[in-house]
Amino acid sequence: MGRASGLRPEQLLEMNEYPTSAAFTEIEKAVLRLSDAMTLTPAHVPDDLFDELRRHMSEQQLVELSSAIAWENYRARFNRVFGVESEDFSRGAYCPLPVPHPSSPDVAAGPDSAPEPNDVAR
The string of pLDDT tens digits covering residues 11-33 is: 988 988 999 999 999 999 999 99
47 and 102 together in one domain: no
Looking at the fold, whether 18 and 54 belong to one and the same domain comes out as yes
Same domain, 80 and 23: yes
Residues 113 and 58 in one domain: no
pTM of the model: 0.71
Q: Which residues of 47-71 are buried (b: 16+ CB within 10 A; e: fewer)?
A: eebeebbeeebeeeebeebbeebee
3-state secondary structure of 7: coil
Number of folded domains in the chain?
A: 2
- Give me the chain's average pLDDT, please: 82
Domain that holds residue 65: 1-85
CATH number (domain holding residue 37):
1.20.1290.10
Give the CB-side neighbour count of residue 77, counting CA atoms within 13 A. Answer: 10
Question: Do residues 78 and 109 share a domain?
Answer: no
